[in-house]
Structure 1
Amino acid sequence: MLNSLDDRQNSLANDTTDWVIGAFSVTPARAGIVDFVRPYYYSSGAMLFAPGGKAPAGIDSWESISGKKIAALTGYYANHVLSNNFGADLVLAGNQAEAAQLVDSGAAVAYVDDSANLKPAGDLAQIPGIPVLLPTLYGVAVKKGNRALVERLSTALRQMATGGAQSDLARFEQQWFIANGAPPNADLAALLLNPDSTKVSLNAERIATAG
């Protein structure tokens, strides 16, 4: 099992795997170790969730969570930003179901997550109007220098994006992400509109070049 990001990167370097897909975010540091396939097919980031997606009183932005009790998973990558940059009073949980219980019981007013599968979190839904925090692009990674495979996978991804709402990628998003509580993905929607474009959204370009 390739459980960690290091495991995935090492599996490419030692030829255990040919390519890696699935929650593998694109960063300049990783781009120095592996080659990423264009187009980037998805993006994610920290989102704020509440029962039914209804914003708790006084919360309408990330800045407004200062001093508020916010549920988050232990070890979550955004925890230090939530507490240090935005002053959240984090209430830690071991899994989504525990986090949902914290919100339901009043021990926390909202929950932060970037998971596409929110079924364990009960009726928690994304609060509209609050942008994604720390957005990150997802890409397919291959061993550094394997340009032939990069081109083959790039062609395959574009074919899977062809057909708009009827494309394979749109169908996968509906089946595995939206059906499990994730909102529609803006970067995937942009790709479906123009599968042959080498560009990504302005938001995605900023992510891809961020330090």
Structure 2
Amino acid sequence: MGRLPALLVLLACAGPALAARQLLAAAAEQPVLRVGFGTEPRVPMSSLVDGQPEGMEGLLIEAIAKELGYTLEIVPLGTFEDRMYALINGTVDAVIHSFTVTAERSKLMQFVYPAYYSSGVALFAPNGEIEGVSSWSDLAGRTLAVKEGNYVLDAAPQTPALQNVTLVQVPNIQDAAALVAAGDVDGYLDDSSVLSPAPNLTIVSQLQPILRAPMAIAVRRGADDLAANLTRALLTLVQGGSDAPILGMENATFIALGAPPNPDLAALVANPTPGNSTLYPTQEMECFPVPSDSLWLPADAYQPIYTWEVRGVHNYSCDGGSGSYQLRGWLVNGTDVRNDKHTGYSYTDRGPSGTHFSRFVATDEGNRTELGSIEIIREVGSVGMPSPTDPTVNAQWYRRITLNQYGMFAAPKILYMTQTETEGGELPAGAGKCKESDAAITVPFRSIVTFFACREGV
């Protein structure tokens, strides 16, 4: 029996007024977990019935909330974009709705491991048949519908089976079913975890699903504490071998409708440790976390990968509301400190509430070819302070930052950055009150930026 049902039984004998007060107090003590949940039925994976989550994902998120002692608040969200933006802007704490793990999505959100299921891309058609199609190669020249936001759209250009297929994006399954019924498309692509997305669509069983990938709960990037708690609850649910609670959820949903057991879930339950299942990959080494009471990186765990000297300008313009000059951004060119060769350029965009989003772009000598980039969302954790080895040095240490990175900045993965030896860039003394019509002020700027990754062998 869960905590609140048990309290109801105990309080029933204590009088209605006392029972109500104590029940509300108990509920208030529990942290709230706001979960974005799709409104479109994806039986047997998920569905909303009278605002309550059902299907395997419904059973799972309810069990997780109970395990952690959270009060579960379901937030219905209709589309993939709705769920993604609600997560990014903090409307919800987590999302569970057949979120397939992809590299592109990982730039926008943080996936929680272990993943709870896996799915591939399957072909759906009336009666599970398309005349003349018995293999993926037979789809060349055909037209298929796919939902907006489905990961197959990113993967199709690199997937031989889909390179000669025309994909028509639709906002929902109902529109896809209507196009199939009208003969405007030959079939519909969706996750194989949806056994029957619409009454007139069933899986073409002759074609084995492709692009198999894990499905995982998503949280905001940087929500490490919540992610750790969700991982702890998930690990509890996959323990117990054949009696693991998550297998009971699969039996009550997928198996009950005639689907075979998910082989990746079976592998996870058999050995729920990293690296033994595609649902629980070995996570990239993050060295070890910086202690919460420390602002400095442990020197024996991290090593500098790149060191740039950046020279450029800070741009200040007049803010009409405050009547004062505000930093609007900066643009600099970088050179390698070791050999004085060109490395790239850097700039910043102004974000909400006075924040800035900084980007470093590595290029060839003429800025013609981009070799990699890294974006820092400064508001999530940067600290300005003097260096402990040289109190006169003004150092900006970025720690626990959110990084979007690719190319040379992704291998090895950059974890932390420092900005030291800063010269210039400050608004001149005497730049007082201003009007919006006043000219912008440009101030020369120089700094040393160092990019750190894990030290090899740590």
TM-score range, shorter chain: 0.5 to 0.7
TM-score (norm 2): 0.35
Deviation string for 1:178-199 (max 9, x for gaps)?
66787653322322222x2212
Matches within 5 A, 1:11-30: 11=90, 16-28=91-103, 30=105
Matches within 5 A, 1:103-114: 103=180, 107-114=184-191
For 1:72-114, what per-residue CA distance to the aligned partner results, in whole angstroms no more than 9, with x for missing partners? 14635335738x9432245666643454455456554432212
Deviates most, 59-68 or 106-115: 106-115
Partners of 1:108 and 1:33 in 2: CA distance: 32
User: Are residues 1:64 and 2:143 paired?
Assistant: no
Q: Which structure has more RCO (C-alpha within 8 Å, separation ≥ 6)?
A: 1
2:161 matches 1:49: no
Deviations 1:36-56 (A, max 9, x none): 3321112334211234434x3
Q: Is the CA contact 2:195–2:203 (under 8 Å) kept in the aligned structure 1?
A: no
Q: 1:164 Cα deviation (Å)?
A: 4.6
Which structure dedicates a bigger proportion of its chain to helix? Answer: 1
Count of residues in Structure 1 that have an aligned counterpart in Structure 2: 200
Q: Percent identity?
A: 35
Tell me the TM-score normalized by structure 1: 0.66
Change (3 A) 1:179 1:6: farther
Aligned counterparts of 1:79 and 1:141: Cα–Cα separation in 2: 20
Structure 1 residues 152 and 189: CA distance shift in structure 2, 3 A: same
1:186 alignment partner in structure 2: 263
Partner residue of 1:197?
273
Contact 2:264 2:277 in 1 (8 A): yes
Q: Deviations over 1:138-184 (max 9, x none)?
A: 22334545544433322211221234554332333344556678765
1:153 paired to 2:226 = no
SS of 2:141's equivalent in the other structure is coil
What is the CA–CA distance in structure 2 between the aligned matches of 1:59 and 1:87, rounded to whole Å?
14
The aligned amino acid for 1:113 is D
Letter in 2 for 1:128: S
Alignment pair present for 1:139 and 2:213: no
Structure 2: distance between partners of 1:142 and 1:136: 18
Aligned to 2:89: 10
Q: RMSD of the TM alignment (CA)?
A: 4.0
Change (3 A) 1:139 1:31: same
Q: Which has the higher Rg, Structure 1 or Structure 2?
A: 2
| Unpaired segments ≥5 residues, structure 1 | none
Whole-Å separation in 1 of the counterparts to 2:95 and 2:229: 14
Alpha carbons of structure 1 residues 90 and 31: separation in structure 2 relative to 1, 3 Å: closer
Alignment-mate amino acid for residue 135 of structure 2: S
Q: Distance in 2 between matches of 1:113 and 1:133?
A: 11
Paired with 1:143 and 1:17, the residues of 2 have a C-alpha distance of: 9
* 1:160/1:167 contact within 8 Å kept: yes
Retained in 2: the 8 A contact 1:49–1:112? yes
Partner of 1:125: 202
Cα distance in structure 2, aligned partners of 1:76 and 1:182: 26
